[in-house]
Amino acid sequence: MIGDIVETKQCQLKDPMDLFHSGQVVKICAPMVRYSKLAFRTLVRKYSCDLCYTPMIVAADFVRSAKARDSEFTTNKGDHPLIVQFAAKEAQVLCDAARIVCPFADGIDLNCGCPQRWAMAEGYGACLINKPELIRDMVRHVRNQIDNPRFSVSIKIRIHEDLKRTVDLCQKAEATGVSWITVHGRSVEERHQPVHYDAIKIIKQSVSIPIVANGDIKTLKDAENVHHLTGADGIMVARGLLANPAMFAGYEETPLKCIQDWVDIALEHGTPFTCFHHHLMYMMERITSKQEKKVFNVLSSTSAVLDYLSDHYGV
C-alpha cells in the first residue's frame, strides 16, 4: 500500500484549501467505485484536474484489516492533492482511518451522499444527512485528533426535499469546522432527474466555506455553466471524466494522446485487465462506431486490446 511513498514529507503535500483560495474554479475528479484509483487519477492530473478523490472506502474495514488497506488505498509522490473518501458512522472509527492516511493524503471526505441501498441499510452514506449531530461529532473528532492543521475534513451530501433542512445541515457543518462541502444536487430518491442547481446556489449563498457542485457535468462548457448558475467554488465530475479524462483540459472528446497515456500509465501500474479495458470502453464511447464497439468490447486480453489500438488508431 504505502511502501513506495514513505519518503514523502508532509511539507511536499499541496494544500487543497490553497486551491479554493486561488480565485479559479477547482476542477475535481469524483470518488468513483472501482474507477478513481491511482492509475486513473494519474491520467486526469495530466489533463488539468486539480484535485482527486479515492473511491469510497468503508472506514471500519480499513481500520480493522491490513488486507483492506492494501487493496483500497494506493498512492505515490505525484498523487497530490489527494482526498480519501470514507463511509463511516462512528466518530472514533473515522478518526482512526484518518490517522492511518494522514501522512499520505491531504484530507479526508465523509460520504453523506451515497444513495445505494446497502450503504443506507448499514447507516452509511446519504442517511447521514438526517443526522447532523452525528456528522458534527465525526468531524470534531477528526479535527481534534489530527495534529496537522492543513489536513482538510470535508463532506459530500445530497439535498433534502425540504431545502431548509439542507441549508441548516450545511450551516451546522460549517460551524463544526468542515473545510468545504460537495453538494450533489439531487435528493436520495432522485437518480436521473434533472440536477437542482438552484438548490446548490442557495446553499452557496448560505455559508462562507467553499461549496463544490456535483451532478450531470459532462463537458468543460457544462462545468463553466454550472459555476455561473451556482457560484460554486469547485466542480466535481464523475462519468464525464470517465468518458473523457481530458475534459478539464478543454477537449470535446478523448484525444488519442490521452488513450496512449492511459495505456502507458495502466501498464506501468499493473492495472487489472478488466479495469484497464473498462476505462478504454468509456473513453472510446464517443469516437467508435457501433460495429467497432461490438469488436472492441469483447476483447479478453491486454495483448488483444493493444493489437486493436495499434491496428485501428496507431496507438
Q: Annotated active-site positions, please?
A: 114
Q: Which residues contact 127 (CB under 8 A, 6 or more apart)?
A: 119, 120
Cell numbers linked to 198? 438552484
C-alpha cell belonging to residue 115: 444513495
Q: Which residues pair with 86 in a beta bridge?
A: 57, 110
81 is in an annotated binding site: no
CB-based contact 104:79 (threshold 8 Å): no
Q: Which residue matches cell numbers 492511459?
A: 262
Instruction: State how far the alpha carbon of 292 is from the alpha carbons of 284, 295, 296, 297, in Å.
Output: 10, 5, 6, 8
Question: Does the annotation place 17 within a ligand binding site?
Answer: no
228 annotated among ligand-binding-site residues = no
211 bridge partner residues: 181
SS3 label, residue 30? coil
Residue 238, annotated ligand binder? yes
239 known ligand binder = yes
- Helix runs in 59-182, H state only: 59-64, 66-72, 91-101, 117-121, 132-145, 163-176
Q: Residues within the annotated binding site for FMN?
A: 31-33, 85, 184, 238-239
**Binding residue numbers:** 31-33, 85, 184, 238-239
